[in-house]
A and B are shown apart, each in its own frame.
Chain A
Amino acid sequence: MTAHDPKLSADHSNDISLYAKRKGVFPKAIDGAFRRFKWLVMAVCLLIYWGTPWIRWDRGAYASDQAVLIDLGNRRFFMFDIEIWPHEFYFVAGLLIMAGIGLFLVTSAVGRAWCGYACPQTVWTDLFQHVDRLVDGDRNAQLRLQKAPWGPQKIGKRALKWGLYLTISFLTGGAWIFYFADAPTLQREFWTGTAAPVAYATTFVLTMTTLIFGGFMREQVCIYMCPWPRIQTAMLDEKSLVVTYKDWRGEPRGSVKSALKAATPLGDCIDCLQCVAVCPTGIDIREGPQIGCITCALCIDACDKAMADVGRPRGLIDYCTLDDAEREKRGEEPKPLLKTIFRPRTLVYLGAWSAIGLALLFMLGQRTRLDLSVAKDRNPEYVMLSGGQIRNAYTLKLRNMETRPRTFTVALDGLEGGAMFTDEMDAAAAQRKLSVEVPSDTTKPLRVYTVLPRGAQPAEFAFVLTATDKEGGTDRSETTFTTAQGNGR
Chain B
Amino acid sequence: MSKPRLDDATGVETVGHEWDGIEELNNPLPRWWLWSFYACIVFAIGYSVVYPAIPLRNTATAGTFGWSSRGDLAKEMRAEAARTAGLMAELGNASIEQIATDPRLRRAAIDGGRAAFKVNCIQCHGNGAAGSVGYPNLNDDDWLWGGDAATIHRTVINGIRQPGNDATLMSQMPAFGRDGILTADQVQNVVSHVRVLAGEDKPNASAQQGAQLYADNCVVCHGAVGEGSRTVGAPRLNDAIWLYGGSRAALTQTITNARYGVMPSWGNRLDPVTVKMLATYVHSLGGGEEAPAPEPAPEAVAAAPADATE
Contacts and interface: CB of A to CB of B under 8 A. Distances in A.
A91 B309 CA distance: 57
A379 B127 contact: yes
A-side interface size class = 10 to 19
A273 interface: no
B135 to A, nearest CB: 13
A142 to B, nearest CB: 30
Interface of A: 377-380, 383-388, 391, 393, 423-424, 426-427, 449, 454
Contact of A386 (B129, B241, B286): B241
A391 B139 CA distance: 9
B-side interface size class = 20 to 34
Contact of A387 (B103, B129, B240): B240
Contacts of A426: 290
A391 B290 contact: no
8 contacts: A378-B128, A379-B127, A380-B128, A385-B142, A385-B240, A386-B239, A393-B139, A449-B286
Contacts of A391: 139-140, 286
B140 A385 contact: yes
A326 to B, nearest CB: 44
Contact of A380 (B130, B236, B241): B130
Given A384-B140, A385-B140, A427 B128 contact: no
B265 interface: no
A426 B284 CA distance: 10
Closest 5 interchain pairs by CB? A379-B128, A380-B130, A386-B239, A388-B240, A383-B139
A384 B240 contact: yes
B103 to A, nearest CB: 7
Contacts of A427: 141, 286-287
Nearest to A421: B286
Interface of B: 103, 110, 126-130, 137, 139-142, 236, 239-241, 284, 286-287, 290
A424 B104 CA distance: 12
A377 B127 CA distance: 12
Given A379-B127, A379-B130, A384 B241 contact: yes
A45 to B, nearest CB: 36
A465 to B, nearest CB: 22
Contact of B287 (A378, A385, A388): A385
Contacts of B241: 384-386
Contacts of B130: 379-380, 383
Contacts of B236: 386
B218 to A, nearest CB: 19
Contacts of A383: 130, 137, 139-140, 286-287
Contacts of B286: 383, 391, 393, 423, 427, 449
B127 A386 contact: no
B137 A386 contact: no
B239 A380 contact: no
A380 B137 contact: yes
B101 to A, nearest CB: 11
Contacts of B290: 426
B93 to A, nearest CB: 23
A66 to B, nearest CB: 29
Contacts of A378: 128
